[in-house]
Amino acid sequence: MLIGKSDITAVAALSPRDVAGYLRSRGWQDSGPYGSYGRVFASSRNNETFEVILSTTNDARDFSRRMVELVDEVARFEDRSPYEVVADLTLAPFDVVRIRLQAADQYGSIKISEGVELHEEARNLMLWAANAAASPQPRKSWKGRRFEEVGTYLDSVRLGQTQRGSFVLTLLSPWHFDPTSAGSLDVFETFGRRTTQKLASALVATQEAIRKVVVTNDLKPFDEAVTAGVSSNLCTSLARLAEEGNGMDVTVDWSPSKPADGSVKVSMTRENASILAEAARHLDQQEPDENVTIQGLVSQITEDPDRFDGNTVIETKVGNAIRRIKVQFGPDERTSVYQAAHHKRWIQVDGDLVRDGRQLSLRNPRSFFIVEPSDG
């Protein structure tokens, strides 16, 4: 037995399905059944055929022994250490996201403050990718919006072991995670795989947008990248990681149980952080704050009542400043709005607040009413 006793527990916890996926991804062929609870997998090298027996149920009395024999034989075939094979097999149920900071010292360590931020922003990357995967349409900014399945998904993501020689945070995302059913095993349907695919496409699109912005100094490429999963929130997290880490690399590797086309790796420098932060502000301004309530005075309306088209300005407090917000009221409210302006009465209205530079406007106005003195 080549494998150590300390790894037998890990081996005994392996899933036959995931081990089978790993073997297939490495070129092993399913040669058929072995008794009632086993399958034979075979592969050839240098005219020599190797065979392993995979127990198809964890309940078999000899499951651990059979799995240890399988690991030893696979290690011999791949000319690797059994410990390396065990490490790969334990990652088989997961898509693996790795974030490597350039700021690590010669010991592969970083400041504790940087480590805290790294973990927080790494979680945020998965959060915003999951939101994009759950949303029926892309969003330039997620303002307090989180889909129900996202929280459950985040609880399923695990932290893997860090790597020596640099500071690498490893996130393990179960590719088969699906909160809406018992779990379809179709790689294109599971929520876990959709999330890592969305993260991968967003990372690639972000890197490409940065390259274009460096040349053109125009943030339009980030607008075009939104369909790939890019958002102001994701840009903010990447900016903080690149800034705190003095540059960083992010890689996405697919589960060998359900391999996809090619790993994804992107690199972002500390200098890129300023572009990412600017892009975050740019995207955030274009996404409305939904269900905002404003209350204030309607600016003087100069048109006659029969010519008033509902286009007006409300003076209200936003933060610590008095701001002027444009509102286009519909026909049902125009008479009341006109009277409120004429008599200098306060009004209240709900809507979606949109920022365009320093200009503010309220879209989709609703729940309008005139504020009575007792209401204030």
Q: Does residue 219 share a domain with residue 126? A: yes
**CATH, residue 314:** 2.40.50.140
Q: Does residue 233 share a domain with residue 112? A: yes
Element spanning 87, H or E: helix 82-90
146: CB partners within 8 A, 6+ apart: 127, 131
The last residue of a domain, from among 255, 286, 317? 286
At 181 the pLDDT is 55
Q: Does residue 296 share a domain with residue 262? A: no
The residue assigned the tokens 């990681």 is: 241
The last residue of a domain, from among 259, 286, 313? 286
The last residue of a domain, from among 286, 320, 352? 286
Q: Does residue 174 share a domain with residue 82? A: no
- Regarding beta strands 321-328 and 311-318, do their DSSP bridges make them parallel or antiparallel, or are they unpaired? antiparallel
Q: Does residue 180 share a domain with residue 86? A: no
State yes or no: pLDDT of 190 exceeds 50.
yes
Structure-model confidence comparison of residues 58 and 272, the more confident one: 272
Q: Does residue 108 share a domain with residue 58? A: no
The single-letter DSSP state of residue 49 is: E
Of the candidates 161, 130, 160, 131, the one whose C-alpha atom is nearest the C-alpha of residue 144 is 131
pLDDT tens-digit map of 197-248? 999 999 999 999 999 999 998 999 999 999 999 999 999 999 999 998 889 9
State yes or no: pLDDT of 56 exceeds 70.
yes
What are the CA-CA distances from residue 365 to residues 34, 310, 375 (Å)? 69, 11, 20
Q: Does residue 242 share a domain with residue 183? A: yes
42: CB partners within 8 A, 6+ apart: 28, 29, 31, 49, 50, 51, 52
Range of the domain at 345: 289-375
pTM: 0.75
At 375 the pLDDT is 54
The structural domain count of the chain equals 3
Q: Does residue 310 share a domain with residue 260? A: no
pLDDT tens-digit map of 299-334? 878 888 888 998 999 998 887 888 899 999 999 999
Q: Does residue 114 share a domain with residue 204? A: yes
Q: Does residue 280 share a domain with residue 145? A: yes
Q: Does residue 340 share a domain with residue 316? A: yes
Q: Does residue 276 share a domain with residue 137? A: yes
At 182 the pLDDT is 44
